[in-house]
Amino acid sequence: MIVATLHPLQWTILLLVVAGATAVVLTRDVQRQIVVNGLYGILLVILFTVFAAPDVALSMLVVGTVGYPLVVLIAIARTRK
* Residues near another protein, by CB under 8 A: 1-6, 10-11, 14, 17-18, 21-22, 24-26, 28, 30, 33-34, 37, 40, 44, 47-48, 51-60, 62-63, 65-68, 70-72, 74-81
Report, in Å, the least distance between residue 47 CB and another protein. Answer: 7
Smallest gap from residue 80 Cβ to another protein (A):
6
Nearest in space to 68 (alpha carbons), one of 51, 44, 47: 44
Minimum separation from the CB atom of position 1 to another protein (A): 6
Q: What is the CA radius of gyration of the chain?
A: 15
In terms of C-beta density within 10 A (0-12 exposed, 13-18 middle, 19 or more buried), how is residue 13 classed?
A: buried
Question: Looking at residue 63, what DSSP letter applies?
Answer: I
